[in-house]
Amino acid sequence: MPCQSGLGLAIDTNVMEFRQQLDVVVIVGHDEEQNENENAIEAIKKLSMKAKQVIAVGDGVLTLAKTGLLSNHRVRCAPSNTLLHKQLQPLVGEVVSCNLDNKNVKSDNVSGSDNNLDAPTVCESGKFVTAGPCTGAMEAAFLVLARLRGTFVASLAELSAEYAPTVRFPDTAPTKPDRPSQQQPPLKVGVLLPQLLFLPDAIGSLSVFKALPNCQVIGIVLEQEDISCAMGPTVAASVTNTCTLKDCPQLDVFLVGFTMPWVLSHSAIVEFVRNQAKGCKAMIGVCAGALLLGSAGLLEGKKATTNFQMKSLLPVVGASTPNETNDEKEEDLVVMDDDKFIYTAGPIIGAYEAAILVVAKLYGDGVAAYIEQSVLYYQHPHPLFNVGRANNATWGLLLAAKMPISPITPAFWFCARKRLAETHRHRAAKSGANSKATNNMTQIAVGAGILSAALVAHKSFTSPTMR
């Protein structure tokens, strides 16, 4: 199934026949053809009726509304999407506007349960939870997780995702990007797709870049096969524009998210990253993906960031965090170097913001503001638990968040250190070869100079005038 991010996902065709009750059904936006497909709408209706909780985000609210299940329910969608509001009016009980100026607004819970969660961007009506895309989708997920598993687990999810969004261009007048001419080449965005990558670290950036009118997403793989992602889903090679390391063209933007430790020490991958950096306009490393950039020697002497559990590994690749000497100042979720070439970010939501900053560099602040405000509807994030930054979390949450990462941290340390050492040897060998070549050329030049001087002297002394 092709997606708006440019990646294709493998579909479990048996899911529609799933007999057991699902805990959660998530409905995202579909194209108009899918929204008019009666069989698809009926299948979504059956799944939603069985589920304990149903989340619909963005245009997915319209898809769910067409099932008839929202006829007596209140819903919420992207606040500035007036067209979607009009389409929803005859299909739902009420389209609730977002009171985003009041941070004490509670979610619209009509199920009668006690509710103390601050979720002004989300509407909860019975078992149906609706919201706008991007930050709205994440806040809806945290809200439902709190309902099903309790606030500690939901808070842990918010901390692990480092959900502390920053609106980058709140006061910038949006500029809709122009349609490029046919002669203008597309922006080539390459995303590394090794097995067991964490897909949310890539989806955010790809969603931003695909909002541009002329963007080509290229999945970079080791072999032409489906990619199984950590925690799901599966990227289907058959419906994704993929190429191998050897066949990949020069990219404009390179992107890598969280990967397994072995990727950091894979010689072909590291060499590929190093070579692509020579011609790229921007390099993005999200979460542990920043360590891959470091393994290629791109972070030495630079400020960088990654997920909070792995920041201690940044010195291994020669990098440092911007505020390591100032604990009072909150560190930005995205760190870019002085040349605005390398962008490192925390997980998930950091992928969105890193890409927004790259768009601002390549196309201007106005286009970045347009995508932020009119495509992602990113203007008004409201974290439910306010623990997206580690310094806001309790020691219990921090311990729980570090436990899954701690066992593999030594592997990341070893692989990053090993490959960076090989990167240094590669540079030294290349530098030595260049020095040797330079010395040879110098010797040739000196020899040629001496020979020329000798010939001139011989000609002078043997000429008739000298005799």
Written as six digits, the tokens of 361 are: 């560099």
Instruction: Find the domain containing 334 and state its range.
Output: 187-378+405-414
The residue among 419 and 342 whose pLDDT is bigger is 342
Read off the CATH number of the domain in which 26 is found: 3.40.50.880
Q: Is the model's pLDDT at 256 over the cut of 70?
A: yes
Q: What is the pLDDT of residue 358?
A: 97
Do 219 and 354 have their domain in common? yes
Last residue of a domain, one of 369, 395, 414: 414
Does 225 map to a domain? Answer: yes
Look at residue 389 and tell me if it is in a domain: no
Structural domain contains residue 143: yes
Verify that 123 and 50 share a domain, yes or no. Answer: yes
Asked if residue 224 and residue 139 are part of one domain, the reply reads no
Task: Specify if 363 maps to a domain.
Answer: yes
Report yes or no on 455 lying in a domain. no
The answer to whether residue 392 is domain-embedded is no
Range in 56-70, 154-168, 198-212, 411-425 with the lowest mean pLDDT:
411-425
* Domain match, 209 and 130 both: no
**80 and 222 assigned to the same domain:** no
Measured distance CA(82)–CA(265) in Å, rounded: 49
Name the band, by pLDDT with cuts 50, 70 and 90, for residue 10: confident
pLDDT of 121 above 50? yes
pLDDT, tens digit (0-9, with 9 covering 90-100), for 388-403: 999 999 999 999 999 9
Q: Residue for token digits 């939870």?
A: 129
Statement to judge: residues 255 and 112 lie in one domain: no
Residue 372 lies in a domain: yes
Q: How confident is the model at residue 165 (pLDDT cuts 50, 70, 90)?
A: very high
Is 173 among the domain residues? no
Q: What is the pLDDT of residue 195?
A: 94
Q: What is the DSSP letter of 344?
A: E
Residues 136 and 267 in one domain: no
* Together in a domain, 89 and 26: yes
Give rounded-to-5 percent helix, strand, coil for the chain. Answer: 40, 15, 45
Q: Which of 370, 396, 414 is the last residue of a domain?
A: 414
Q: Note whether 240 and 358 are same-domain residues.
A: yes
Q: What is the mean pLDDT of residues 90-102?
A: 75
pLDDT tens for each residue of 176-187: 998 877 678 999
> How do 24-27 and 53-57 pair as beta strands?
parallel
Strands 334-336 and 122-125: what pairing? unpaired
| 273 and 143 within one domain | no
| Nearest of 113, 142, 114 to residue 129 by alpha carbon | 142
Instruction: Spell out the residues 6+ positions from residue 395 whose beta carbon is closer than 8 angstroms to its own.
Output: none
Total domains, the chain: 2
DSSP 345: E
The Cα 436–Cα 429 span in angstroms is 10
Indicate if 137 and 200 belong to the same structural domain: no
Contacts for 176-179 with beta carbons within 8 Å, 24 or more apart?
176/367, 176/370, 176/374, 177/212, 177/213, 177/363, 177/367, 177/370, 178/213, 179/213, 179/214
Contact 289, 258 (CB under 8 A): yes
pLDDT (tens digit per residue) in 272-299: 999 999 999 999 999 999 999 999 999 9
> 136 and 281 share a domain?
no
Judged against a pLDDT cut of 90, whether residue 103 lies above it is answered with: no
